[in-house]
Amino acid sequence: MLIFGPKLTLIMKLQLSTILATLFISTGTLSAQAQQDSLMMRKIYDEELVNGKCYENLHYLCKNIGGRLSGSANAQKAVEWGKNLMEEYGFDSVYLQPVMVPHWVRGEKEKGSIMVGKSTIPVVIAALGGSIATPANGITAEVVEVHNLGELQALGEARVKGKIVFFNGPFDQRYIETMRAYGSTAAQRSMGPALASKLGAVGAIVRSLTGTLDNYPHTGATNYGASKPIPAAAISTLAANQLSDLLKRNGTTVKFYFKQSCQTLPDILSYNVVGELKGSEHSNKIITVGGHLDSWDLAEGAHDDGTGVVQSAEVLRLLKTIGYKPKNTIRAVFFMNEENGDKGGAKYAELAAANNEEHLAAIETDEGGFTPRGFRFDISEKQLLQIKQNWKALFEPFEADLMVTGGSGTDIEPLRNTRPHVMLIGFQPDSQRYFDFHHTPNDVFENVNKRELELGSAAIASLVYLIDEHGL
Amino acid sequence: MLIFGPKLTLIMKLQLSTILATLFISTGTLSAQAQQDSLMMRKIYDEELVNGKCYENLHYLCKNIGGRLSGSANAQKAVEWGKNLMEEYGFDSVYLQPVMVPHWVRGEKEKGSIMVGKSTIPVVIAALGGSIATPANGITAEVVEVHNLGELQALGEARVKGKIVFFNGPFDQRYIETMRAYGSTAAQRSMGPALASKLGAVGAIVRSLTGTLDNYPHTGATNYGASKPIPAAAISTLAANQLSDLLKRNGTTVKFYFKQSCQTLPDILSYNVVGELKGSEHSNKIITVGGHLDSWDLAEGAHDDGTGVVQSAEVLRLLKTIGYKPKNTIRAVFFMNEENGDKGGAKYAELAAANNEEHLAAIETDEGGFTPRGFRFDISEKQLLQIKQNWKALFEPFEADLMVTGGSGTDIEPLRNTRPHVMLIGFQPDSQRYFDFHHTPNDVFENVNKRELELGSAAIASLVYLIDEHGL
């Protein structure tokens, strides 16, 4: 006799309940239409989980191209790769949208150190995107620590002038979604250096935007607005803690030194990459799904936003492969320049208006290739209720049924102005690990999980199918 | 003027919706009771996400103790560590439950190779727990490949006798939860070698139970039942594919060689570790939360099940720290010997009956320290509806609101027989990455994410609070 231990009995029970739960045909609780939809979604998921291509596409983008900041040779390679990929998949139409983009270059690897008495402690920094260089010998100055823009404003010019402002606002760990912690501290990076400059600072050092304690600098764009640019860099969270600690113990005897040689070159021509499955009934009605092709130069732009790019192409590949004939035109867009200018998103919205395209919906995937949780819809709570009533049960067996109101995404946001009837939707994966990688040298292919990525592609393809079939 | 780009506007919108969504006080949609519950849950989560201790406890368990298979010196160290930890936290009562456990040892590192013609290709294997050794010189034999027990049975003795059976059943990737793919292939490991032996095989090689293609052997227990033991080992999925490929091309000229020196020593005394917060109203009514302290010897037992252990202690620490006085006794149990005998779980159930303890609920956390999805309840669909109606909305803001019927867990399962009124509950984290690590040399601390682990502790503590406060 073979022995069935309690563990195996348990597994077998799970197994049985799966068959009932995930195939769920003729359960009686779904309408005939919903049953057909659920079968189509099952088809999408099966194709993706068994034959998915997005992971190998991501591998190519990360390993054969790598970091691809706007204006770089790699960005151009990525454009060509994207166009070829979609042409190879045989989409009905593949084309480029020319767009002028900023061209910022980092230059030599940055240097930073804390100086206390006779000690010099090297620390990890990286110039913020858009920052100017320091003088060739670097900058050395006394440090003033603040935790947000309000604190800095309160200090006033007298206590800031001639100093390096050290923005040390930490992530508030109490937020469940890390994106919200990011939202509540991001201003110190995007607007902090401009305010520091206004108050006479000679430089700005910004605590990396992450809840982890690591030794990576997390770069990202800063915006000087009308202020005179001053050199600005991100510092790792571990180094930020060290600096803060030394400041507490040694006060004004602490100085900070940093040197960077980044610069902004003239704007340069680049492209959004667009692929389409033509609608059989309403070819001028568009459902767009997109991510951004550019990425920071420090790594491979895996989660930000290689995953969004390969998922967007995969949505069209999936629908085509299972033989689905869309009523409306389904479009994948690889936006250029999300990281430091948002020019691709703006151009896309401008052309959508110029070409008088009706957009039913635009879905952005730019929060990493993690396990899907669901979607954020830019609609009223009342409209959301209707969507949940129609579709939530369909996504439940796939554990991607979170449906909330809220934002959409940087690249599709400009459509709001030019195509006011568009429904903006953000794909929402699990957020816990995103800021472990975001804008760091650690945003590499190895940190993406194949199944998590594929489940995202299938979830988005399912939503596209439902919108195409039933409208919103 | 500082410029607010679309990205930041978006972030600020997210930010605002957070404040409304996660604090959700006086929204009018929750009853006064539910509002109080939601505030208590917020308190639990805040304490955990800001001051959580489970991650550093896991670090100690993984790095200062490491792998801790039943009967090993490390298992004894882990028992002492667990008892000390809970005593240091000042729980009302901390004690050990003696239990005799199997004592299997791996011996020297295994060797395996595929032989084709004059070529010898080394491959990665690891003995299955409970397996016997090969003869000192190893075993070399022709290979017969099957994909499940049914295929093997159909081959019959004539085609199996004297050979090594190669079980090469892959994970079915179409399951959304990886635990279900595991369930559908696990029998080849747990019962395959016994059946192979019955049909006269001289050894068994089992494809590792994972959906990833990697070069780790995934060990795990096998059970010979009444069959005569034969040597059995897991082979990595990459090596399994290679072996299968060579068999297809070269048929019976392919031989497999493996050598292992594992053995089963006499049973040995070990312990479950128990800590309690005494109930202020019903000290003999128990709510148990537990994971298993033992782990496979190949790595550190991080996700399996160091995370469950530290979460279980953390639940009590959290409730104590926020000053909650439980009505019923809340108990953390570190079960011994889940991996290769289930003796700790059986002993716990036996003692629960002997001491006439009433168990309200038992919650097991043994599916890894990943982002929580929710809980599985071992109840009817009708009862589940009631629980969802009561509590689902409370877990929604924490994204841990999956509530389904289904299994519970190996360690608490025996309670079903001795304490028939107990509600068995399984904590369900996201399952996508679990089998990347499960039973491999890669199940190490570095593969656990701090926030994911902490969110699990907080979710379980919240459920314990709700059960204690309101019953089930």
Of residues A22, A50, A227, nearest to B173 (C-beta): A50
Q: What is the Cα–Cα distance from B454 to A174, expressed in whole angstroms?
A: 11
Neighboring chain A residues of B409 at a CB cutoff of 8 Å: 10
Residue A186: predicted pLDDT: 97
Of residues A226, A398, A430, nearest to B430 (C-beta): A430
The reply to whether residue B455 touches residue A436, judged by beta carbons under 8 angstroms, is: no
Q: Cα A222–A412–A42 angle (5° rounding)?
A: 125
The reply to whether residue A397 touches residue B176, judged by beta carbons under 8 angstroms, is: yes
Residue B15: predicted pLDDT: 44
Query: What ipTM was assigned to the predicted interfaces of this complex?
Result: 0.93
How far is B299 from chain A, CA to nearest CA, in Å?
Answer: 20
Of residues B11, B373, B452, nearest to A399 (C-beta): B373
Higher pLDDT, B31 or A320: A320
* Mutation site, A2, A27, A303, A405, interface B, largest B CB count within 10 A: A2
Neighboring chain A residues of B211 at a CB cutoff of 8 Å: 451
Burial B299-324 (b: 16+ CB within 10 A, else e): bbbbbbbbbbbbbbbbbbbbbbbeeb
Q: Are strands B254-259 and B139-146 parallel, antiparallel or unpaired?
A: antiparallel
Check residue B61 and report its DSSP letter. Answer: I
Q: What is the Cα–Cα distance from A101 to A104, expressed in whole angstroms?
A: 10
Q: What domains appear along chain B, each with residue ranges and CATH number?
A: 34-104+266-470 (3.40.630.10), 109-261 (3.50.30.30)
* Mutation site, A364, A394, A412, A451, interface B, largest B CB count within 10 A: A451
Neighboring chain A residues of B179 at a CB cutoff of 8 Å: 11, 14
Residue B30: predicted pLDDT: 76
pLDDT classification of A10: cutoffs 50, 70, 90: very low
Residue B251: predicted pLDDT: 85
How far is B115 from chain A, CA to nearest CA, in Å?
Answer: 31
* No. of helices (H) and no. of strands (E), chain B: 15, 16
Q: What is the Cα–Cα distance from A195 to B132, expressed in whole angstroms?
A: 71
Q: Are strands B423-429 and B93-105 parallel, antiparallel or unpaired?
A: unpaired
Predicted confidence (pLDDT) at residue A16 exceeds the cutoff of 70: no
Per-residue pLDDT of chain B (472 residues; tens, 9 = 90+): 233 344 544 444 444 444 444 443 444 567 899 999 999 999 999 999 999 999 999 999 999 999 999 999 999 999 999 999 999 999 999 999 999 999 999 999 999 999 998 999 999 999 999 999 999 999 999 999 999 999 999 999 999 999 999 999 999 999 999 999 999 999 999 999 999 999 999 999 999 999 999 999 999 999 999 999 999 999 999 999 999 999 999 988 999 999 999 999 999 999 999 999 999 999 999 999 999 999 999 999 999 999 999 999 999 999 999 999 999 999 999 999 999 999 999 999 999 999 999 999 999 999 999 999 999 999 999 999 999 999 999 999 999 999 999 878 999 999 999 999 999 999 999 999 999 999 999 999 999 999 999 999 999 999 999 999 999 8
Residues of B involved in catalysis: 338
Across the beta sheet with A282-292, what order do the strands follow?
Answer: A93-105, A263-277, A328-335, A282-292, A358-364, A423-429, A372-377, A402-405
Q: Are strands A372-377 and A402-405 parallel, antiparallel or unpaired?
A: parallel
Residue A408: predicted pLDDT: 81
Residue B287 pairs in a beta bridge with B330, B361
Neighboring chain B residues of A194 at a CB cutoff of 8 Å: 2
Neighboring chain B residues of A14 at a CB cutoff of 8 Å: 179-180, 183, 406-407
Predicted confidence (pLDDT) at residue A22 exceeds the cutoff of 80: no
Contact B263, B133 (CB under 8 A): yes
Contacts for A396 with CB less than 8 Å, ≥ 6 apart:
none
Residues of A involved in catalysis: 338
Predicted confidence (pLDDT) at residue A7 exceeds the cutoff of 90: no
How far is B103 from chain A, CA to nearest CA, in Å?
Answer: 18
The reply to whether residue A5 touches residue B408, judged by beta carbons under 8 angstroms, is: no
Q: What region, left, alpha or beta, does residue A401 occupy, with left being phi > 0 and alpha being psi -120 to 50 degrees? A: alpha
Of residues B14, B178, B404, nearest to A183 (C-beta): B14
Residue A3: predicted pLDDT: 34
